[in-house]
Amino acid sequence: MTAVFAVEEGDPDAPALVLGNSLGTTLAMWDAQAPALADRFRLIRYDHRGHGRSPVPPAPYEIADFATDVVELLDRFGTEKAHYCGLSIGGMTGICLAAQHPERVERLVVCCSSPHMAPASIWQERAAAVEQAGSVGAVAAAVSERWLTPAFAAAHPDLRDGLRDMLAASPPDGYVAACGALERMDLRPVLARVEAPTLVIGGAHDLAAPPDDHARVIAEGIPGARFELVDGAHVANVEQPARVTELILDHLEAS
């Protein structure tokens, strides 16, 4: 386990909600959702191992390691069971967490994610580029370009540039190790083991994880999962903040 960096917001006596970020980002990617969610929940945002202000343990990393870090985080905050919402690698972490530690997850939200991101060569090549440059900045522009639709990015240059800069500042060793985890990940066999009521959100224009090939596969594999499509790209919570927040609240507060 790695003692990841986390911040707590909201009423400490309210039901707990943990937010997991996408690859190469920090807990700041949920800034648009945080006020509304912290108004209803004990909100715990954290940086994955190898990301942001969290430690960068030596490689290799596996998705199971990211899930185990969340178990340690819950223990540290004295929380037996929590809701979990994650985007991209954060969603993969949530699937693994719910499958391996069902007693720790109340309800699950998986955003713009995937159970299996082939081919492995994508992650090998990206990791090699970062390793050679010694900086995630080597891939930041090309990768973040796929996170927002072109029209939204052009209309919101500050958000576009902020995401790119956040990615470029990611610890390179942690990013490379996380790419290795994605290269080896296959969560398809464990989807049926997820017992937590699950909402799967897909971005209609997501080029990084096209919903028909990724998000829908998750929704079809998890028993009783609900699928919702939003008009955004890979970081749909940034592009459609109100709609994504509405969907999260609706799912987590369902009776």
Per-domain residue ranges of the chain: 6-115+187-252
Q: pTM value?
A: 0.97
Q: Are 27 and 45 in contact (CB under 8 A)?
A: yes
CA angle 11, 30, 146 (to 5 degrees): 165
Q: 91: closest CA among 61, 117, 58, 115?
A: 115
Q: What phi, psi does 117 have (nearest 5°)?
A: -115, 75
Give 69's Cβ-side CA count (13 Å radius): 28
Going from the C-alpha of 221 to that of each of 93, 118, 128, 188, 217, the distances in angstroms are 16, 18, 33, 7, 6
Q: How far apart are the first and last CA of the chain?
A: 34
Residue 1: what pLDDT?
A: 72
Residue 255: what pLDDT?
A: 67
Residue 146: what pLDDT?
A: 96
pLDDT in tens for each of the 255 residues of the chain? 789 999 999 999 999 999 999 999 999 999 999 999 999 999 999 999 999 999 999 999 999 999 999 999 999 999 999 999 999 999 999 999 999 999 999 999 999 999 999 999 999 999 999 999 999 999 999 999 999 999 999 999 999 999 999 999 999 999 999 999 999 999 999 999 999 999 999 999 999 999 999 999 999 999 999 999 999 999 999 999 999 999 999 999 986
| DSSP structural state of residue 189 | G
Residue 241: what pLDDT?
A: 98
Q: Are 215 and 209 in contact (CB under 8 A)?
A: yes
Query: Is domain 6-115+187-252 classified as CATH 3.40.50.2300?
Result: no
| DSSP structural state of residue 255 | -
- 3-state helix, strand, coil split of the chain in percent (to 5) is 45, 15, 40
Q: Tally the residues of the chain.
A: 255
